[in-house]
Structure 1
Amino acid sequence: MGTTQLESVPEPKYWHLKTVLSEALDSEFSVGEILPNERELAARFGVARATLRQALEQLELEGRLQRRRGVGTTVAPPRMGVAVGTEQRVWPGVGEDAWQAVGCTLAAPPAAVAAALETPREQSVHIVRRSRVSHGQPVAAELLYVPQTSAPELSAIDASSEAARARVVLRELHRLELQGQDSAVELGSARADDARQLDRLPGAPVLVVTTRYFAEGRTAALSVATYRADTCRLTFGASGVEILHGQERQAS
């Protein structure tokens, strides 16, 4: 990587540095290669470490870099396309669902979730935890909130494990007739629990997909799925949820 006269550039220094670093990633580095440490990079480009961190954070947000515990900052592979839009209305866990049930608890939900479910804040709901792995790499984590009115017979589930309990809740949810669903996508930061499950650092950029499922004229379940923003890009189409790699394209 060569030096550059950042002082003469009218745009923010970190933004110009990001452009220079991006070009270097294309020409001088390969996927998975570890970048020099911050002190070396800052000295090489003649910028403050705070400016360098801003540029690195922006490149991470754009999916060009990954920060890994105990490794450092590495060049990221191409993002995987994750289809989240579908014309087919299905409950979570139906058909060729790529998610795996991890566990389930009965607890009071966050205030925003309780409001979306139209349940009292102190009333416990089933919280199903699911994960999604692709090519051995964790790519998403989900919390599925199911009010007890959607599974009235399951106030006390006798299951051999939390994963089995989660599957029982999903099975009971499937008994309802799904009337519709809607989804919203926003950029967020990884919470501590999500960061551990996704092998990310707390505060790392993530894509959060919130989906409401409607049955019997009400919100019967609410899903909050957190995707790694450094490895995933969300796509919208008519087919089911699918993770694409490299130059592969979603089948019609």
Structure 2
Amino acid sequence: MGTTQLDHQPEPKYRHLKTVLSRALDTEFSVGQALPNERELAARFGVARATLRQALDQLELEGRLQRRRGVGTTVAPPRVGVDVSPRQHTWPGAPGDTWVASDAVRTTPPPAVARALDVPAEEPVEVVHRTLIAHGQPVAAEQLHIPVDVLPPGDEPRGTSGAERARAVLARLGRLDLGGQDRSVELGSAGSDDARRLDRLPGSAVLIVTTRYVAGGRTVAVAVATYRADTCRLTFGNQASGSQAPLSLSAS
């Protein structure tokens, strides 16, 4: 990676540096290759480390770089396309669902989720934890909240937590007649739990997709999925009818 004078540029230094670094990523580095450390890069380009971090932050948001504990900054693979349109119209855990259920516990939901489910804030609900894996890495983590009283009668899940309990809860949920679902998306930052599950640093940019499932005229489940903004490209659209091309949404 060659040196470049960044003084006297008509645009902010970090933007020009981002352009220079992006060009180097295309020509001098391969996917997975580590960049020099911040001190070396700042000295090479003659900028303050704060300016360098601004440029690196932008490249991470655009999906060009990844930062991982104990690894440093590496060149990111192409973003994974994740279809979040409701065209499949199925319950979580239905055949063909690629999410992996890892745990289920009965606990009180966040206030916003309790309001969406129309349950008292202190009332425990079933919370199923699931992870989406793509190209061998976790790209999304989900918490699916289900009021206990909506689950059809059946064998109580064994144990107080674990993957077996999660699968049992999803199986009971799948017996309901799904009436509809809707989704919303917002940009956020990873909390400590999501960062750990997604192998990210706390505060990293994420895309938060909230899905509301309806059955029998009421909301019976709310899923809050956290997608890595550096690796995911969410797609939407009426793909079932073919009348509208999917819309790509990225965090760049």
TM-score (norm 1): 0.89
Q: CA deviation at 1:122?
A: 0.7
Q: What amino acid maps onto 2:71 in structure 1?
A: V
Q: CA deviation at 1:160?
A: 8.6
Q: CA deviation at 1:58?
A: 0.8
| Kept in 2: contact 1:148–1:155 (CA 8 A) | no
3-state SS of 1:11 partner: coil
| Kept in 2: contact 1:101–1:130 (CA 8 A) | yes
1:54-105 alpha-carbon deviations (Å, 9 max, x no partner): 1101101110000111111001111111111132311111120001110111
Q: What amino acid maps onto 1:106 in structure 2?
A: R
> Superposition RMSD on alpha carbons, in Å?
2.0
Report the equivalent of 1:120. 120
Report the equivalent of 2:200. 200
203-212 or 49-58, which moves further after superposition? 203-212
TM-score (norm 2): 0.89
3-state SS of 1:42 partner: helix
156-165 or 60-69, which moves further after superposition? 156-165
| Kept in 2: contact 1:154–1:169 (CA 8 A) | no
Report the equivalent of 1:243. none
* Closer, same or farther: CA 22–155 of 1 in aligned 2, 3 Å: same
Q: CA deviation at 1:184?
A: 1.1
Give the unaligned 5+ runs of structure 2.
241-252
| Kept in 1: contact 2:157–2:164 (CA 8 A) | no
**Counterpart Cα distance in 2 of 1:16 and 1:140:** 32
Give the unaligned 5+ runs of structure 1.
241-252
**Counterpart Cα distance in 2 of 1:161 and 1:11:** 54
Would you say how many aligned residue pairs link Structure 1 and Structure 2?
240
Report the equivalent of 1:40. 40
| Alignment pair present for 1:104 and 2:104 | yes
Q: CA deviation at 1:11?
A: 2.2
**Counterpart Cα distance in 1 of 2:239 and 2:91:** 15
172-181 or 144-153, which moves further after superposition? 144-153
Q: CA deviation at 1:7?
A: 3.0
3-state SS of 2:112 partner: helix
**Counterpart Cα distance in 1 of 2:11 and 2:150:** 54
3-state SS of 2:88 partner: coil
**Counterpart Cα distance in 2 of 1:155 and 1:218:** 24
Report the equivalent of 1:139. 139
Q: CA deviation at 1:18?
A: 0.9
Report the equivalent of 2:220. 220
* Closer, same or farther: CA 239–100 of 1 in aligned 2, 3 Å: farther
| Kept in 1: contact 2:63–2:76 (CA 8 A) | yes
* Closer, same or farther: CA 2–135 of 1 in aligned 2, 3 Å: closer
* Closer, same or farther: CA 205–35 of 1 in aligned 2, 3 Å: same
77-86 or 228-237, which moves further after superposition? 228-237
Q: CA deviation at 1:205?
A: 1.5
Q: Percent same amino acid among aligned pairs?
A: 66
Q: CA deviation at 1:191?
A: 1.3
85-94 or 27-36, which moves further after superposition? 85-94
**Counterpart Cα distance in 1 of 2:66 and 2:28:** 17
3-state SS of 1:87 partner: helix
